[in-house]
Structure 1
Amino acid sequence: MHDSPLQLRNPLTTRETQVLTLLAEGEGNKGIAGGLGIHPRTVRFHIEHIYQKLGVQNRVQALREAQANHLISN
């Protein structure tokens, strides 16, 4: 069994990991923004970067990829 490239290193910043963790907990952009003390537009900015870094197109794919590669807890 080979490790995927994402398992070998975490491409996400600490803030992106926080955003993704809150997404996994079911929070929307406003909830994430409130929880992290940032603007909802900043949340969208982080989510777009997460999509690019993980090579995905939506939240469900991002969460699956992050969990499969142990970037966030299940």
Structure 2
Amino acid sequence: MIMPRLLSPHELATLLILLHSPAQVANTNPNLEALRAERLIEAVSMTAPSPSSEYRLTEQGNAVLRRLGVA
């Protein structure tokens, strides 16, 4: 997988929180949309993201964390 851009520290932190404690990520977190655009996370409770959506890592998101040695 080729990552099209570098992730910000806040985006990486959001990935880590989603890995370990997804319920602690607020749906208003501004990093969610950027991570969705990179296909590193996906909404799981609805077909389209909404204020009640929950998010989880995709295989690409897990691969990024594995390459960093944290997953």
Give the structure with higher Rg (CA). 1
Q: Comparing both structures, which one devotes a greater share of its residues to helix? A: 1
- Counterpart-to-counterpart distance in 1, 2:14 and 2:6: 14
> Structure 1-normalised TM-score?
0.54
State the structure with bigger RCO (CA 8 A, min sep 6), 1 or 2.
1
Identity, % of aligned pairs? 14
* Shift of residue 27, structure 1, vs aligned partner: 3.1
> Structure 1 stretches of 5 or more lacking a match?
34-39
4+ residue segments displaced more than 6 Å: none
- Counterpart-to-counterpart distance in 2, 1:57 and 1:16: 14
* Shift of residue 65, structure 1, vs aligned partner: 1.2
